[in-house]
Structure 1
C-alpha cells in the first residue's frame, strides 16, 4: 500500500499527465521548416538568387534539420504507441502540394522512423521511404485551402470595407506609402505588409544587413500588423467555417472512427502545411494569440480514454521546445470528446457541404430587407404600368395620324 501511495505522489510531483489513460489516436499539424523568401520585393538588395543557398520559397538544410529533430521528438513522445517499424496501417501522411512542405514531411518521417534491422534495405542509408499524399493546391479545400470559393472571396473583400479595417488603413496610410516607395512593391493593406515583413525577417535570419529605410520600421512598426494579418483568413465565423470547415470535419471524423472502432483506421494522422494553416486552426479553436507561427510550429490533438471509458481530446501547441495545452472553445484542457465535437460543430462541414456553401446565392448578396423588397417590387410594377400606358398612347396617336392621311394623285412620284 505504501508503495502505491509513493507512486501516486511521484506522478503528481513529476507532473505526469494522463498516465492512467489510454492513447487512442493522434493528429499532428505542423508548419514546414526554415525556407528562403518566397518572392523578393522589387528593390530588394538580395533579390538575386546567388544570395540564397536554394531557390526562392525552398526548404533549406536548416529547415530539414529542424524537421528531422521534430520527428525525433515525436518518436520520443509516441514511442510504443507508434511501433518502431513503419506500417501503412499505423500512419497516414498528407501534405500541401508545395516543395517545402513535402520535403519537411520527408525529413520529419526520417526522424520519426529510423529503420529497424528488419526494414534496413541499404546498410549505408538509415532511411525508410514512407508515402506522403497530396493533391494540387487549386483542388485542395481541406489542407492547402486554396480551392476557389466564391462566397469566401466575397466575404474576405467585404471584411476590408468594415469600419475596423478602414480605420487601420487610415491609421497606416503614411506607413503604406513609405513601404511602397522604398520597397517598390504596392503595400496597401496589412496582408501585403505581412508579406514584406516576412521577407525582411528571413533576411535577418541569414544575417543580411537590411537597407536603412527598412531598419526604421522593422520590426517595431511592422510586427504588430504582421501578427494581426495571420488572423485575417478566419476573422469572422463565416470566414472560419469556409476556410477550415473541411479540415475540422476531417479531424472529427478521424477521431469518431476510433470511438466506434472502425476498421482500417490509422492511429496517427500527420499533416504538413504552413504558418497560415497553424494560425487558421488555432483561431478556429479559439486559442490564437496574434503571432506568426514559427518554423515547425505544431498543433497536436490526442484522443485518450479514461479508466471509466470516457474519451477526451488533449490539444497541444508546440512552438518551442515544450508543448503547451490548448483550451478548445469553452472547454477544459482535457476536453470531453462530445464537447469537442459540439463546440466545433458551427465550423465543421464536409467537402460536399463546402461546395454548396461556396456558391453565392442572390438572397445572400441582395442587401434589401423583406419590407424594402416589397416596396421595390411595387415600384417596378408601377413603372412598368406607366411605360405600358405611354407606349399604348403613342401607338394610338400614330394610328389616328395614319387614318387622317390622304394620298394625292401621283404623290409617289413627286
Structure 2
C-alpha cells in the first residue's frame, strides 16, 4: 500500500514538473498544414439523384459558403493559439502561406487568413469590408513535389504498382468484391478499387452533410463499410517507407530543415508561422509518413500543427505535433520513440529513412532495369517507350562499332567530312 502511494505521488510530481516545463517553454516557430473547407462533390455517380448542377451553385469540386466559414473560424482559432507568436498587423516577414494550385485550397487559404488577420487600424483600407488581401503562394501541380506531390516520379509509380500487386493488397481488395459489386450495380459506376470506393464515399458524405436525402440502397453501405474502406485507402500512398520517402519525404524534409534554420538563426526572413493549404490526402500522407496516422477520413479543415519550442530545461529546441480533427482542442501526438516533445536533432534520426537525400535522383528508374519493365509493360505507352529506347541504344552501339572498325582498318573516305572552301 505504501509503495503504491509512493508511485502515485511520484507520477503526480513528474506530471506537474512536465506541465511546468511545457508552460515555461517559448514557442518560436510553427508549421500548420490543413485540409480545405467544405466542397461540392467532384464526380457524382451516374445514378446520383443529386447530380444535376442546379443543386450545387458553385460547380463541381468547389468551395462552398460553409467551407469558407469553416476556414474563417479556423483562422480565428489559429489567431487565438498563436497570439503570442504573431503580431496584430500582417507583415510578409512574419508568415508565409503556400497552397496547392487548386481553387478550393487557394480559396480556403484566403478565407483562413481573413480570420487570422482581420484588418485593424492602418490596415483598414475600405470601411465596408473587414478583410485585407494577403499573398497566397502556389506552384503548378505538375511541378510541385513538396505539397501537391504530383511532380512525376517514376520510382514512386513503380513502387506503388508493386505494392498493389502484392499478395497483401490483392487479398484485401478481393475481400471487398461483394461491396464493389453491390455499389457498382446501384450507383451505375464501376467500383473495383479502394480508391474508387473512397470517391463514392466522399460524394455520399458531402450530400449527407448538405441534408440531401440519400437513396435507400446506400443504407447497406453508408456510412459503413464505405467509411472504413475509404479510411484504409488513405494509407495506401505512403504505406511503405519507400512510398512515404518518395511521396511525402520532400515535405517532411523541408519542414525539419526550416526548423533547423530557425533554431540556428539562419531563417531568412526570420518568419514565425508557415502555413500549407492542401487536401485530405495531404493530411493523411503527412501523418502516415510521420507514423502517427490512425485510420480515419480527415474532415474538412482538419489540420496538423508542428511547433518548435525553446525551453531552459532542454539543451536544444524540441518539436511537438498536434492534430486538430473536429474538436476545439488539438490532440497531442506521441512521436515514435520520443513522445510528445522531441528534440530537433532526434527528429532527423527518427525519420532518417523517409528523408530523401536527392529526390530527383531517387525518382529515376535505372535504364531498362527489370523494375522499370515491370512498371511500364502494363501500358502501351510504356512499352512503346521501352522499344524506342532499346532501338536507339542498338543504333548507337552499331555506330560505335562501325567507327571502331573503320579506325582499325585504316579506312579513310573524304565523304565523311564537310569541306569548307576558303
**Could you tell me the TM-score, scaled by structure 1's length?**
0.83
Structure 2 residues without counterparts, runs of 5 or longer? 1-12, 375-422
Asked if 1:327 is matched to 2:334, the reply is yes
Cα offset, 1:289, TM superposition: 0.4
* Alignment-derived partner of residue 312 in structure 1: 318
Number of residue pairs the alignment of both structures matches: 357
Whether the 8 Å CA contact 1:35–1:59 is kept in 2: the answer is: yes
1:57–1:100: 8 Å Cα contact kept in structure 2?
yes
Structure of higher CA gyration radius: 1
Which 4+ runs in 1 deviate beyond 3 A?
Answer: none
Q: 2:111 aligns with which of 82, 107, 114?
A: 107
Q: Residue deviations 1:58-109, cap 9 Å, x none?
A: 1111111110111101111111310000000000000000111001100110
User: 2:240 aligns to what?
Assistant: 236
Q: 2:277 — aligned with what? A: 272
SS in structure 2 of the partner of residue 38 of structure 1: coil
Aligned partner of 1:338 in structure 2 is 345
Contact 2:34–2:303, Cα closer than 8 Å, also in 1: yes
Following the alignment from structure 1 to structure 2, what is the Cα–Cα distance between the partners of residues 53 and 12? 53
CA-based RMSD? 2.0
- Equivalents in 1 of 2:77, 2:64: separation in Å? 20
Unmatched runs of 5 consecutive residues or more in structure 1: 1-8, 369-414
Shift of 1:367: 9.9
In the TM superposition, 1:237-386 aligns within 5 A as: 237-262=241-266, 263-308=268-313, 309-319=315-325, 320-349=327-356, 353-361=358-366, 362-363=368-369, 365=371
State the alpha-carbon separation in 1 of the partners of residues 270 and 118 from structure 2: 23
Q: 1:85 aligns with which of 74, 84, 89?
A: 89
Distance 1:59 1:16, change over 3 A: farther
Report how far residue 265 of structure 1 moved.
2.9
Q: Does the Cα contact within 8 Å between 1:248 and 1:349 map onto a contact in 2?
A: no
Which one of the candidate residues 121, 142, 146 is aligned to 2:125?
Answer: 121
2:207 matched to which residue of 1? 203
The structural deviation recorded for 1:12 is 5.0
Once the two structures are TM-superposed, the CA of residue 17 in structure 1 deviates from its matched residue by 7.0
How much has 1:310 moved relative to structure 2? 2.2
